[in-house]
Amino acid sequence: MTSYDSEVRALLDTRVDACQAKDIDRLMSLYSPDIVYYDVVPPLQFTGSDEVRRNFVRWFDEYDGPIGLETHDLTVVTSAEVASAHMLHLDTGTRKNGLDGAVWLRSTVCCRRSNDKWLITHEHISLPINPDRSWVLEGRLTEPG
């Protein structure tokens, strides 16, 4: 593992910690001002830090209490100036509607290094679905029994 790999992994750990704590300012400090963020909720594409901030606040507000967010199968590829990572996230917690839930998400993150600091320039979140059976993988990596 290179030092760049370690730096990007630390950035991604900070991203998860900030999400779990619903710390919007710490989270947004990791993103480039010109971030392009693809999400599973409309309008599907969020451009710029103001739109992305509003989307994260919306997500945080869905939870009554902390957000559980676990990273699985993280792969990081870096060079001196750019990096990409892909992973699975298990998103858990109690929603404000009282439902406890767990859902698997796929995440791809692209970063750029400038002035000795990595920033996230693009993020893509997706939900794994089975179009033949119309279900979302909730809390597991395999099809329900």
Distance (Å, rounded) from C-alpha 38 to C-alpha 101?
A: 22
pTM of this prediction exceeds 0.85: yes
pLDDT at 131 over 80: no
Q: What does CATH list as the number for 3-136?
A: 3.10.450.50
Distance (Å, rounded) from C-alpha 41 to C-alpha 125?
A: 10
DSSP single-letter state for residue 131: T
pLDDT at 128: 82
pLDDT at 124 over 50: yes
pLDDT at 143 over 50: no
Structure tokens at 99: 């439902």
The CA-based diameter of the chain, rounded to the nearest angstrom, is 51
